[in-house]
Amino acid sequence: NAGVTQTPKFRVLKTGQSMTLLCAQDMNHEYMYWYRQDPGMGLRLIHYSVGEGTTAKGEVPDGYNVSRLKKQNFLLGLESAAPSQTSVYFCAGGMTSGRYTGELFFGEGSRLTVL
């Protein structure tokens, strides 16, 4: 049982390049989230999904796109990377049944550096 898995774990990009972060979960979570963590800023929500085929904006969505074509996968895309997107990105899943209570299961993180 792998839980929530993020790939890649590390990536270095040049300004203007594009890339996709993949999050895969085998916990049957309905909801999936992408957060970024920056020093002194805590965890900030980028985009999230409450079910297959749905996506919604979080607190800091600009410069990112997401897709949830399959329930178990949630992709985060950067179309034209900027140095301000240097961060550690965390994917999380939650909500298998009943009422949403905020309990999320996180992946190990993906460290992205944009030069």
Partner 1 sequence: DQQVKQNSPSLSVQEGRISILNCDYTNSMFDYFLWYKKYPAEGPTFLISISSIKDKNEDGRFTVFLNKSAKHLSLHIVPSQPGDSAVYFCAASPYNTDKLIFGTGTRLQVFP
Non-local CB neighbours of 111 within 8 Å, separated by 6+ positions: 9, 10, 11, 88, 89
Minimum CB distance to partner 1 smaller for 33 or for 74: 33
Residues 86-105 that bind partner 1 (CB under 8 A): 90, 92, 95, 100-105
**24, 29, 33, 68: which one contacts partner 1 (CB under 8 A)?**
33
Is residue 26 within the footprint of partner 1 (CB under 8 A)? no
Residue 81, number of CB atoms within 10 A of its CB: 21
Closest by CA to 55, choosing from 47, 64, 44, is: 47
Closest by CA to 44, choosing from 101, 87, 74, 95, is: 87
**1, 2, 42, 62: which one contacts partner 1 (CB under 8 A)?**
42
Residues that bind partner 1 in the complex, under the rule CB under 8 A: 4, 31, 33, 35, 40-45, 48, 50, 58-59, 90, 92, 95, 100-109
